Structure 1
C-alpha cells in the first residue's frame, strides 16, 4: 500500500495552493501600484522594515543552504527544521514587505552607469522569481507533509535553487538600494 494520500483528498489543498499562489503576487503588485496614490497609517514608523527584511532574507538563505546540507547527509529531522524555519522567515518577510510598501512610497534607485543596469537586472529577476517561487514552495511543503516524497524530491530540484536565488538577491537589492532610503 502506498504512503501517498489519495488524489481526492489532495484536491482542496491544491486549490488553496493555487489561490494563494495567485493572490500573493497580485497583492504585492497592487501595493506597488497603489503607493503612488495612497499610503496606509499603522501607528509606528515602518522605515525600519527594509532592514528587517534583509535580515529575514539572509536567515532564509542560510536556512535553505543549511537544510540542503542536512538532507545530503540524510538528517531528515534537521532538514525539516531548517526548511520550516526558512518558510516561517519568508512568511514574516512577506508580511513585513507588504506592510512597508503599504505605508511607505517606493524608493528610487539612484545609481548611475553600469551598476544601474546590474541593479535592475537583479531586481527584475528577483521579482519574477519571487512570484514563481510561491507555488513551488507551497507544493514542496505540501508534498513533504503529505508524505509524497518522490513528488517532493522532484519539486525541490526547482524550488531550492529558485528560492535560494530569491533570498540572496533580496539581500543584494537591499544593499544596493539602502543608500537611497530617506
Structure 2
C-alpha cells in the first residue's frame, strides 16, 4: 500500500468519523437515541481505523514536515492537534463507557467536551494534511 493511498484512506476515515459524530449529535438533539448510538459507534470505528492507518503509515514512510511560509500557524495547529488527540482518546473511552453502562447523567456531562475535542482534532488533521501537501 503506497503512501499516497494511505494518506487518502486516512483522510477518508477521519472524515467519515467527523461526519458520523456530527450526525450523532443531530440525532440526539432530535431525541433519536438508537440512531445516535449507531452514528457514534460508526464515528468510533472509523476513528480507530484512522489511528491504525496512521500508525502503519508512520511505520512505513518517513516523517514529512512543513517548511512553508506559515510555520508558526502550522506549529500551533500541529501541537494543539497532537495534545488534544492524546486527551481525546481517554475522553472517548470514558464517554462510550458511560453510555454502555447507561450512566446517562455522567455521559451527558462529558460527551459535549469529547465531541468538541473530537471535532477539533478531525478538522485540524485535515488542515495539517493541507499544509503539508498543498501549502509548502
* TM-score normalized by the length of structure 1: 0.71
| Counterpart-to-counterpart distance in 2, 1:96 and 1:76 | 30
**Which of 67, 88, 98 is the matching residue for 1:143?**
98
What are the equivalent positions in structure 2 for 1:164-179 lying under 5 Å apart? Answer: 164-179=119-134
Structure number, greater radius of gyration = 1
| Counterpart-to-counterpart distance in 1, 2:88 and 2:47 | 11
RMSD: 1.5
Query: In the alignment, is residue 116 of structure 1 matched against residue 71 of structure 2?
Result: yes
* TM-score normalized by the length of structure 2: 0.94
Shift of 1:180: 7.9
| Counterpart-to-counterpart distance in 1, 2:26 and 2:61 | 38
Query: In the alignment, is residue 80 of structure 1 matched against residue 24 of structure 2?
Result: no
Match of 1:28 in 2: none
Unmatched segments (≥5 aa) in structure 2: none
Query: After the TM superposition, which segments of 4 or more aligned residues of structure 1 sit over 3 Å from their partners?
Result: none
Match of 2:86 in 1: 131
**Count of residues paired in the alignment:** 136
Instruction: Check the 8 A contact 1:107/1:180 in 2, yes or no.
Output: no
Higher relative contact order (CA 8 A, sep 6+): 1
| Counterpart-to-counterpart distance in 2, 1:56 and 1:82 | 14
> Which whole-Å deviations, capped at 9, do the CAs of 1:120-157 have from their partners, x for residues lacking one?
11111100000000000001101101111111111112
Of Structure 1 and Structure 2, which has the larger fraction of its residues in helix? 2
Shift of 1:105: 0.6
Match of 1:33 in 2: none
Query: In the alignment, is residue 105 of structure 1 matched against residue 62 of structure 2?
Result: yes
Shift of 1:118: 1.4
Shift of 1:158: 1.2
| Counterpart-to-counterpart distance in 2, 1:110 and 1:131 | 25
Query: In the alignment, is residue 61 of structure 1 matched against residue 18 of structure 2?
Result: yes
